Chains A and B, each alone.
Chain A
Amino acid sequence: MIQVIFKRLLMLVPVLIGITLIGFLLLQVMPGDAAERAMGTRASAEELADMRRLWGLDLPIWQQYLLFLRDCLTGSFGVSIFHKKAVIALVGERLPFTLAIVALSTLIALVIALPFASLAAMRRDRPADHVIRQAFVVLIAMPPFWLSYVLILWLSLTLGWFPTGGVGQGLAENLHRLFLPSLVVGLSTAALIQQTLRAALIDTMKADYVDTARAKGLRRHEIFLRHILPNSLISTISIIGVRVSWIIGGTVVVEKIFSVPGLGSLLIDAIVSRDLPVIRGLTVFFAIMVVIVNLITDILYALADPRVRLE
């Protein structure tokens, strides 16, 4: 097991070299000058040249790339032009909020999706199934920014249950503050899981071993909870994995609306201010996260299904 994990992490190396290369080259193509953005429009040509020299922007591209590789290897991932801080430090400040949204939204999604998927599968092709399906289609179709504002208007401003945004001190307060953004992310995750799980449940219900369970005389709920549900949940593990990889960097809109200083908004801010080291550093960091999440997904898969062996 440990060996397999180690091997998988080793496989990261070629992936990361590719990512750094592509990420670096794409940024060279991006219009806009980092020095100009940092100094403002009133900076003199001399000041701009100083700025470029200071940040190594005047070096040949291959040297800039090697410097970037060095920063990746030393673990700083470069220094932000805008924040004047190591990229890894910026990530460290923001990662907890992003991870909190990942965890909270996935939890919310499971709590919503599980009962509705079960109900839909048990009442397959009957009115309840159709109503649930339509409701979740509507849910998927609702744009996150719109849903965010509706929830703010309703749950924050009208009912006053949640703050409209921002983060605070301590775990409890932050979980309270991050609930609404997590709910927005979680609702669309729920729709995704509900569809997958419903299909998996219906599939599992036809399995021979479910008939075996019935032949043993087990009651309906025993058959469902012990045999149908556990075997069906296995196939949703990979869906959740893909979704978590996406949430880590993809919740910009929600982060912006709820003023959550997460990784998504860090990336957008960096792009707007042409903070090249941050963009590059985040690209590599996201790639690492995707690989790690995939690895965790595979480990969970192997733990859940004894037929699957980690390779």
Chain B
Amino acid sequence: MSLLSIRNLQTEFRGPAGIARAVDGVSFDVNPGEIFGIVGESGCGKSATCRSILRLFAGATARIVGGEVILDGSGDLAAMREADLARVRGRDVAFIFQDPLTALNPTMRIGKQVAEIIRRHRQVSRSAARAAALELLRDVHIPSPERRLDAYPHELSGGLRQRVVIAMALALAPRLIIADEPTTALDVTVQDQILRLLKERRDRNGTSIIFITHDLGVVSQVCDRMAVMYAGRVVETGTVRDVLDRPSHPYTRALLDALPGQGGRDRDLVPIEGSPPGLIAPPPGCRFAPRCPFAGPACTQGMAPPLHPRPGATADHLDACILTEVPHAPA
């Protein structure tokens, strides 16, 4: 039984240029205790997908227009009333945002911001919440946490701030943590510490994590299973080993070929020509077809192809390419 099951999710963003379907028929499952990676380039809908889970759309006028987000034991989050969803947020499903510099309220002390989430979901006194906040800061290895409780966010480094954000996410021991590029804004050494922190939490508490990133290296380092997204759709999904070692979709292969130092091979990098299609009026057929070196006439017709397994591949290794035989990239 999966912890989170997303089925045919569709989310639209209304902008001045029109309505963009940033998430268009996305499905995947996250199992208990699993770290699930979502990769793709900017604007592919990976962030929009995850924000749709908790309906956190910031100031944007976004709306889930179809599909289900089934959280085990809580039901369909997409159909839930806002007030009911607010009880799930932070308690069952927590969210870690990309930029720790802006994710904390600049005029509120750290301790209060951490204690706030505890007091929202549990009936505890102010001092008990503060003590719990101190414990949480210690859990995420913040040095001299007593002193940080009364600090303001701007007095902390980016890495420490991201730890505070993570401390808030861990506060109520949620079953699922959604981390939206949590290390992108941090430098490499801090990145590594944050990744280890999240992994440590999973290993200790069996917390599931959805990890959004554009860094395939990070995915292979921390994730168990993954999905590759392109133009609002999942084009390939499976275990990290299957997808990265035996990619079957041309886009996944192109991504890997564009990556330096993959597998220690010494070779030329191959850029992906062109740019992703607009989502207001996406092209018919496979959305990657216009950039795909192997695309045939059938690729640009009809509906976007669904995910399907390939003969001989692992059962949960799916991709959305209609070609029966995808040749390796021309050298």
Contacts and interface: CB of A to CB of B under 8 A. Distances in A.
A28 to B, nearest CB: 50
Contacts of B132: none
A218 B107 contact: no
A164 to B, nearest CB: 45
Contacts of B97: 208, 211-212, 215
Interface in B87-125: 87-91, 94-95, 97, 99, 102-108, 116-117, 120-121
Nearest to B172: A217
Contacts of B128: none
Contacts of A215: 54, 56, 89-90, 94-95, 97
A305 B108 contact: no
Given A226-B116, A227-B105, A304-B107, A205 B90 contact: no
A216 B120 contact: yes
B168 interface: yes
Q: Which interface residue of A208, A215, A307 has the most chain B CB atoms within 10 A?
A: A215
B86 interface: yes
User: DSSP class of A's interface residues: helix, strand, loop or mixed?
Assistant: helix
A260 B258 CA distance: 78
A212 B108 CA distance: 13
A214 to B, nearest CB: 6
B165 interface: yes
Interface string A87-105: 0000000000000000000
A304 B154 CA distance: 14
Interface in A203-223: 205-220, 222
A216 B88 CA distance: 9
B106 A231 contact: yes
Nearest to A230: B107
B188 interface: no
Contact of A306 (B82, B99, B106, B116): B106
B88 to A, nearest CB: 7
B120 A217 contact: yes
Interface string A225-255: 0110011001000000000000000000000
A234 B120 CA distance: 26
B152 interface: yes
B58 interface: yes
A234 B285 CA distance: 51
Contacts of A306: 106-107, 152, 154
B121 to A, nearest CB: 6
A217 B91 CA distance: 7
Interface in B232-289: none
B83 interface: yes
B94 to A, nearest CB: 7
A191 B80 CA distance: 39
Q: Which interface residue of A205, A206, A218, A222 has the most chain B CB atoms within 10 A?
A: A218
B59 interface: yes
Contact of A305 (B83, B90, B106, B120): B106
Interface string B110-149: 0000001100110000000000000000000000000000
A124 to B, nearest CB: 10
Nearest to A212: B103
A216 B169 CA distance: 8
A217 B90 contact: yes
A203 to B, nearest CB: 9
B120 A208 contact: no
Contacts, number: 85
Contacts of B99: 208
Q: Which interface residue of A205, A216, A218, A306 has the most chain B CB atoms within 10 A?
A: A216
B102 A234 contact: no
B16 to A, nearest CB: 13
B185 to A, nearest CB: 11
B54 A209 contact: no
A217 B105 contact: no
A304 B91 CA distance: 31
Q: Which interface residue of A209, A210, A219 has the most chain B CB atoms within 10 A?
A: A209
B117 A208 contact: no
Contacts of B90: 215-218
A207 B168 contact: no
A211 B62 CA distance: 14
Contact of B88 (A206, A217, A307): A217
B57 to A, nearest CB: 8
Given A215-B90, A217-B117, A219-B83, A210 B58 contact: yes
Contact of B116 (A207, A211, A216, A231): A216
Contacts of A213: 105, 116
B89 A217 contact: yes
Q: Which interface residue of B94, B103, B105 has the most chain A CB atoms within 10 A?
A: B105
Nearest to A202: B59
B168 A216 contact: yes
A307 B86 CA distance: 30
Contacts of A220: 82
Contact of B107 (A205, A212, A231): A231
Contacts of A216: 89-90, 116-117, 120, 168
B207 to A, nearest CB: 16
Nearest to A124: B59
11 contacts: A209-B103, A211-B58, A213-B116, A216-B90, A216-B120, A217-B86, A217-B88, A218-B86, A218-B120, A219-B86, A231-B105
Q: Which 7 A-B pairs have the closest CB atoms?
A: A206-B59, A217-B90, A217-B89, A215-B95, A208-B102, A216-B117, A306-B152
Given A208-B102, A215-B94, A222-B120, 17 more contacts: A202-B59, A209-B102, A209-B104, A211-B103, A212-B95, A212-B103, A214-B89, A215-B54, A216-B116, A216-B120, A217-B89, A218-B86, A219-B83, A304-B107, A305-B106, A307-B152, A307-B154
